[in-house]
Structure 1
Amino acid sequence: MTTNERWLLIDDDAAFVEVLQRALGRQGIEAAGAHCHAEALSALSENAFQKCVLDLNLAGESGLQLLPELLVRQPALEILVLTGYGSIATAVEAMRRGAANYLCKPVTVHQLISGFKAMATTPELRPEPPSVEEMEWEHIQRVLNEHEGNVSATARALQMHRRTLQRKLQKHSRWRN
């Protein structure tokens, strides 16, 4: 299976880029790698890409600052922001700056491909971005899981009063049932 797609992978972790390039190659997708702002902009000036996987933290440089520059150079480029440190604020900011999607590491190549497929080319088929409440809930669940269900430890990690967290958890469980 071969596609005519070319992806640009921008991540400061060279091993991650190399593994992802091989995995995408097995899916018939040609991918080029870049490890910093300058390499990414150089790659864009030399080649046309349809998709881009952009790490949020590029060895001290911000992927969020690079995102609009990429779109200025190739406006049709679909950009998926990838990060190991997901937060509601950065997800919202990435989408505001033009990202097509936002995923947290670790991810598989199939999750990346699905992350782009979820963004249909016609606007009426494009799913609504998650609401702030949904993103907050996902973040709370992630931190709660990290603290093995301990509400007090989770509240401290979220810098939230324990009772406030308990109300949010209770409200959401009522809403879901």
Structure 2
Amino acid sequence: MDTWTAQMNYPLVTIERNYGANPTARISQKRFLLDPDSLDEEIDDNPYNYVWQIPYTYISRQTRGRVGVRTLHWLRNETGVVSETVPVDKDWLLADVAGYAYYRVNYDERNWNLLVEQLKSHHDVFSVLDRYKMIDDAFSLARAGELDTVLALQLSEYLVDETGLPWHSALRHLDYLRLMLRRTPTYTFLETT
């Protein structure tokens, strides 16, 4: 637990999939900061070098329907590779199922797009917590410069069919975007849509 209690902030876990004949996923971690320029090397020095012992879970379209199927691994270093149960090319992968642990998740662009497609076609295959977390992660990553804001907005397009908790996260993040754009020419377009 020292890696969680003796370090500031929390991790960003990034999953980059290999979509070839033998699908694998490269998983890496780093310290998540909304403003990476805010680092102070003297204050931020610690014996764990901002590497956490991370329990990570994931599901895919293949495993989603089976009760109790949630793959659990531990990421104890900066990077790791998963080769078993990684879905095939056309299937999405979702990590940190139901917010199992406390970290942000980022994916390669193709996997994000697969998640967007799934949300738009049948968002209820994901739990409410998973939908909330996807929205929260995407907009927080965009704010930190880790993800294109357009992708976060595309992810939120499914919300026309949403009635639950994910709206709370979306409205909070959209309000922040509105605040940041207030003094730009883009604001007029935002207010009219």
TM-score by length of 2: 0.27
TM-score by length of 1: 0.29
